[in-house]
Chains A and B, each alone.
Chain A
Amino acid sequence: MTIVFALFLLTLLVVTALAIVRTKNLFIATMLLSIFSLLMAVNFFILDAADVALTEAAVGAGVTTVIFLSALRLTSQYERGSLASSRWIAVIVVVTTTVLLISGTINTPNLGDPNAPVHQHVAPFYLENTEALMGFPNVVTAVLSSFRGYDTLGEVFVVFIAAVGVMFILDARQGTGPEYELRVEKGLKHHLIPRAVGGLLIPFMLLFGLYVQFHGEYGPGGGFQAGAIVATAFILHAILEGERTALKAFSRNAQMALIIGGSTLYGAVGVVCMLKGGTFLDYSVLMEDPVTARQVGIIIIELGVGMAVCGALLSIFHSFAARKPVAQAK
Chain B
Amino acid sequence: MTLDAFLGHFNYWVFAILLMIGFYAVIAKGNLIKKLVGLSIFQSAVFLMYISMSKVEGGTAPILQAGAVDPIYSNPLPQVLILTAIVVGVATLSLGLAIVVRINERYGSIEERELLDAD
Contacts and interface: CB of A to CB of B under 8 A. Distances in A.
Answer yes or no: do A and B interact: yes
A91 B24 contact: yes
B76 A143 contact: yes
B94 A316 contact: yes
A interface, over-half SS: helix
Interface string A314-327: 00100110010010
Interface of A: 3, 7, 10-11, 13-14, 17-18, 20-21, 26, 29-30, 33, 36-37, 40, 43-44, 47-52, 55-56, 59-60, 63-64, 67-68, 70-72, 74-76, 79-80, 82-84, 86-87, 90-91, 93-95, 97-98, 101-102, 105-106, 108-114, 116, 118-119, 122-123, 126-127, 130-131, 137-140, 142-144, 148, 151-152, 154-155, 158-159, 161-162, 165-166, 169-170, 172, 179, 218-220, 224, 309, 316, 319-320, 323, 326, 328-329
Nearest to A222: B83
Category for how many chain B residues contact A: 35 or more
| Nearest 9 interchain pairs by C-beta | A110-B8, A162-B91, A329-B108, A112-B57, A48-B74, A137-B64, A101-B16, A90-B28, A71-B97
A174 to B, nearest CB: 10
Contacts, number: 303
Contact of B95 (A36, A130, A144, A166): A166
Interface string B54-74: 111111111111100000111
B30 to A, nearest CB: 5
